[in-house]
Chain A
């Protein structure tokens, strides 16, 4: 049989990809039929984006074969794969805001279109094919997000795409815009164009897709027609990994209310109120972009927020900036270790000491011997593996870098410890050490707000869990007694209380 006429537009066989310290894809196989909408679901870090970036040529695979439209693709670049007929529409749209719609669609190909008049005429035609009537002379900066998406789709069509990959296309669309997108997807399908639809949102997956694949930890766990999946099965497959002694026991001595937050409101957050008790680990569960990070940043004074109220042990406190927060007893591990946590070119010592400078300053002068003691004490207490305290922190492993940040805060013994993705990108052993530390902090009467994209981590460490969806708290659960899928559903915006 001629493979060019195979029923699959795309066949991925045993594709693997490693990054330093992580196996992002582990012999992944996936077939996409012509003229179908193929959904891919999975948690953050499951490998969806890596796979798509390999398809588009942003990354190169380590091994395996990719057959696209009957051709074996070995080495490709984003531009080449586009010309072959494989387009990706990223979450953050790749358009030039200061140029017109038509110019964006045929960027760099005006000559082929015989000048600007031809460009705009052809652009109009393409847009009409997906039932869209945007004036092609309009600047992209004046368009709404969904209109921009249509321009991207028209651009994909202009390359005669056979496969269009949509990466979280709905993340910033309103309901009406979603309906519009649904229409376009049906149109594309009727024109025998295949679509890979990546999303966290199960509603959309069930609405749009014909076939669904679940990815987890760099593997494709299952691929089935949508009708054979139940919602619960899908959720279970997304999150269900075996957890055996990956986590220490939860802290058990929960005391009085330590922190009370009342009505944080920003553009992204709506009426966020919650309490935190002594000795408690409170988990915030939500997708990336749900607002979970914004909540803790607002609380910590990292972002400007007005009008909310914070009480610590019943007393009102004002937190306008991180310094105020630290003085009030907060500690903060930011989500992005390299860009928000560490000063990479600096030594382990100055990275550990940077939150406790007042502790070794007298009359404005730094006492270097005390600073050195502080650093060495933390290195020892956390068994940070580093040649010396003067080693540049950038040369340590991810886990040890993270421990430097933990040590930085332990030095000032915060009562309320915010940890945003404390174990991201670090190995299992270091993870367990950080979990143990969290437990110790809580048992000494501190309290922790934990954010993690790894659901099992939050569920196994927290005493209580709040789910966050689209800037709102959608539920409160006891993770010991609530099944994980119920919590996941609430975090996905499906009814917060029950399934």
Chain B
């Protein structure tokens, strides 16, 4: 009897250690990564590199926060790359003729429209599975990107060509509020709002229930169609925010500026621990995921790993994250 209870205790300890590892795996990995890189490459902790990390973090975290809702709702959105392309070239081109505030608002509205369009197409075509949504939004991404190319005639637009005031964008790109950069403060604000929406509101709950079981949710009177529109609108809006943060930082907008953001955002969300199956996850986890993704690519940069190799690493991490997620469910 004693032996058995001891064994049970041991099992309990192993179990709780496992659950800590499961839940905080990303944090552990981040700490490990920081430690190793800091030892191997002291430049890692230098001020200029940390600024560099923050800059990479800014646009991606915005896009990933939006993506989190789509994935919690049990769907996926590959169109963010196209949305970013379109919003970036349209917004930057309107600063000169319309002024910066209208340009900013139109840019954000465009993101919302792109997201809403995705959801309307999903609902009207009845593409209510994640796989169908994957292809549908992939198609939409191509269309948005094509519009970006048509609109800009394929050319890159630069801040220095704009004579009108662009102080807002300059502030977003390189301004500081006290100790923090403007873009970081923006991130904190959006994180706060989205976290409250996610965990404190009935709409947020409806999104979780939709992701958990669409049929059961609908039969219990949850407006799942409304939730689907919401998640895509949030995702489109946050992609637009990400686009603005991105081109403000690099002061130029090419019509292909958003390429790769869809996969990075999905990677960050999944690595953060939000399951692709839907119904589970959090924007806070996504922040961890983004941090890890950005740190990995920064470390690999510092260690002189070629960018081709970095793609392979990113892919491998995504596989690993999905694999771990499936094991967790089983």
Residues of A within 8 A of B (CB): 300, 302, 321-323, 325-327, 332, 334, 339-346, 350, 354-355, 357-358, 361, 364-366, 408
- In the assembled complex, which residues on chain B have CB atoms less than 8 Å from the CB atom of A300? 219
B222: interface (CB < 8 Å):
yes
How far does the Cβ of A63 sit from chain B's closest Cβ, in whole Å? 29
Residue interface bits B198-223, CB-to-A below 8 A is 1, else 0: 00111111101100110111111111
Asked if A350 and B200 make an inter-chain contact with CB atoms under 8 angstroms apart, the answer reads: no
Contact of A366 among B205, B216, B218, B223 (CB under 8 A): B205
Asked if A332 and B219 make an inter-chain contact with CB atoms under 8 angstroms apart, the answer reads: yes
Asked if A366 and B202 make an inter-chain contact with CB atoms under 8 angstroms apart, the answer reads: yes
B279: interface (CB < 8 Å):
yes
Given A322-B220, A326-B221, A355-B220, A343 and B279 contact (CB-CB distance below 8 Å): yes
How far does the Cβ of B204 sit from chain A's closest Cβ, in whole Å? 8
Asked if B212 and A364 make an inter-chain contact with CB atoms under 8 angstroms apart, the answer reads: no
B280: interface (CB < 8 Å):
yes
How far is B280's CA from A319's CA once the two chains are assembled, in angstroms? 31
Asked if B205 and A340 make an inter-chain contact with CB atoms under 8 angstroms apart, the answer reads: no
| Number of chain B residues close to chain A: CB under 8 A | 22
How far does the Cβ of B117 sit from chain A's closest Cβ, in whole Å? 23
Asked if B215 and A340 make an inter-chain contact with CB atoms under 8 angstroms apart, the answer reads: yes
Given A358-B202, A366-B201, A366-B202, A346 and B212 contact (CB-CB distance below 8 Å): yes
How far is B223's CA from A327's CA once the two chains are assembled, in angstroms? 13
How far is B216's CA from A366's CA once the two chains are assembled, in angstroms? 20
- In the assembled complex, which residues on chain B have CB atoms less than 8 Å from the CB atom of A364? 201-203
- In the assembled complex, which residues on chain A have CB atoms less than 8 Å from the CB atom of B215? 334, 339-340
Asked if A341 and B223 make an inter-chain contact with CB atoms under 8 angstroms apart, the answer reads: no
Contact of A342 among B202, B204, B206, B213 (CB under 8 A): B213
Given A322-B221, A326-B221, A357 and B202 contact (CB-CB distance below 8 Å): yes
Asked if B200 and A365 make an inter-chain contact with CB atoms under 8 angstroms apart, the answer reads: yes
- In the assembled complex, which residues on chain B have CB atoms less than 8 Å from the CB atom of A345? 212, 279-280
How far does the Cβ of B73 sit from chain A's closest Cβ, in whole Å? 13
Given A340-B215, A346-B212, A354 and B202 contact (CB-CB distance below 8 Å): no
How far is B212's CA from A351's CA once the two chains are assembled, in angstroms? 11
Residue on B nearest A337 in the bound complex, by CB: B216
Asked if A408 and B201 make an inter-chain contact with CB atoms under 8 angstroms apart, the answer reads: no
How far is B237's CA from A84's CA once the two chains are assembled, in angstroms? 61
- In the assembled complex, which residues on chain B have CB atoms less than 8 Å from the CB atom of A343? 209, 212-213, 216-217, 279
- In the assembled complex, which residues on chain B have CB atoms less than 8 Å from the CB atom of A325? 221
- In the assembled complex, which residues on chain B have CB atoms less than 8 Å from the CB atom of A366? 200-202, 204-205
How far is B218's CA from A340's CA once the two chains are assembled, in angstroms? 9
Residue on B nearest A324 in the bound complex, by CB: B221
Asked if A365 and B201 make an inter-chain contact with CB atoms under 8 angstroms apart, the answer reads: yes
CB-defined A-B contacts under 8 Å, sample of 5: A339-B215, A342-B216, A343-B216, A365-B202, A366-B200
Residue on A nearest B275 in the bound complex, by CB: A345
How far is B222's CA from A350's CA once the two chains are assembled, in angstroms? 13
Q: Which of A321, A344, A350, A354 has the most CB of B within 10 A?
A: A354
Residue on A nearest B206 in the bound complex, by CB: A357
Residue on B nearest A409 in the bound complex, by CB: B220
- In the assembled complex, which residues on chain B have CB atoms less than 8 Å from the CB atom of A344? 212-213
Interface residues in B61-110 (C-beta closer than 8 Å to A): none
Given A357-B205, A366-B201, A334 and B279 contact (CB-CB distance below 8 Å): no
How far is B17's CA from A104's CA once the two chains are assembled, in angstroms? 53
- In the assembled complex, which residues on chain B have CB atoms less than 8 Å from the CB atom of A322? 218-221
